[in-house]
Amino acid sequence: MGLLTFKGGIHPNDGKSLAKDKAIVEVLPEGDLVFPLSQHIGAPAAPIVKVGDQVLKGQKIAEAGGFVSAPVYSSVSGKVKAIAPYFTPTGGKVSSIIIENDGTYTEAERLNTRSLDLITKEEILNLISEAGIVGMGGAGFPTRVKLSPKEPEKIEYVIANCAECEPYITADYRRMLENPEELVEGMRVILKLFDNAKGIFAVEDNKPDCIAKLEQLTSGEPRMEVVRLMTKYPQGGERQLIYAVTKRAINSSMLPADVGCVVDNVETIIHIYDAVVNGRPCIDRVVTVSGDGIAEPGNFKVPLGINQQELIKAAGGLKGSPEKVISGGPMMGFAMFTLDVPVTKTSSSILCLTKDEVAMYEPSACINCGRCIDACPSRLIPSRLADYAERHDETAFEKEFGVECMECGSCSYVCPAKRQLKQAISSMRKTVLANRKKK
């Protein structure tokens, strides 16, 4: 069978060689830890501790603020120092719980769980909700909500997003190599929720070692399969992944469940296993620290709330004076103006680059070459949408399906005129969606 893929996409330099062969290293925090109450899509969590309280590692410190929300747990033991606004990796300030680490890591009681053979579907969903698990690939959508479609019997595929198509990031790759059993058992947990579904591990073909491990572990499993994807960006995009695996298309007004699919990334599935089988809440994650501005790029398992400056220190510190620091990948991540921010549930990577290549070029006029159209995975006309965005023509932007843009940046990458197409489209798309909510 040929490699599975989608139409469009690009092949940027992946930069993964800097960190892909570096085993995961655990890092303990040195200073205070900061826990933003908004680490997910939906309502912020509500604090259930106050300044001066002593807390334990794994103790809940904030309740979910609604059904589409997620609780927050302390990843260390110590004293609540403050509850105040603090910068997040995306640049905004949100209310956060600041805990002074006492260095003992005294643990709270774990969540109550039962044998996977005896546990019910409702108990599984409650544990996932109670553990505070969200989409840890970057989206941050509460996992309990994603795993609770209206008609669970119509779910045919549970797709493990093992593509990790963003350049430089290798956290999921290392997880697949070092913790493949936990990934497979996490899939087994999810499959207990969907009686008619098959578990698919969708892996890009530039990870043959991961494919071999997963094939070995799923051999003889009738409800699990490993499929090979063409290595291409943005192969890990939810819509692109579903199309590549099932040839079913969805748009911005649909959910994966509308075409019988559920998609979760590697880190999320491993945390599902940890919560349901081991009773551990979501208090840590693996983060890639990479780029040519990092002395010793690598992959680090860190407690949530640790300061990102400490993480860079663990990677040997900065090399020279990087011009660009990015939270996430270079294609869809966020440029950072300070490193004094915490690692959150959605922090997959910190990149430090010695050159800001985007700022080096001055955009020029469109030459109508059509490269952006060929590259667009959403099959749009990015150059035209950017023109509408720059003229603030909201009506024309909507008529040309501008909200279908997934903001992957492929158009900007291939543009010979160096136009900032993605940035213009993204700004207008946010305006359109905000105005729709007002109606």
* 407 vs 410: CA distance, rounded Å: 8
Q: 155 near 195, Cβ under 8 Å?
A: no
**Which tokens in the block code for residue 365?**
């006029």
How many Cα neighbours within 13 Å face the side chain of 209?
Answer: 10
H/E run at residue 247 = none
* 437 vs 32: CA distance, rounded Å: 38
Q: 71 near 60, Cβ under 8 Å?
A: yes
Residue 419 one-letter amino acid: R
165 is in an annotated binding site: no
Runs of H (alpha helix) within 391-420: 394-399, 410-414
**Which tokens in the block code for residue 257?**
């469940």
> What is the β-pairing status of strands 298-303 and 24-26?
parallel
End-to-end Cα, the chain, rounded Å: 48
> What is the β-pairing status of strands 324-327 and 224-229?
unpaired
261 is in an annotated binding site: no
162 is in an annotated binding site: no
Q: Look at residues 132, 166, 151, 69 and name the one whose alpha carbon lies nearest to residue 268.
A: 132
Q: DSSP class of residue 166?
A: S
Binding residues for [4Fe-4S] cluster: 366, 369, 372, 376, 405, 408, 411, 415
Binding residues: 366, 369, 372, 376, 405, 408, 411, 415
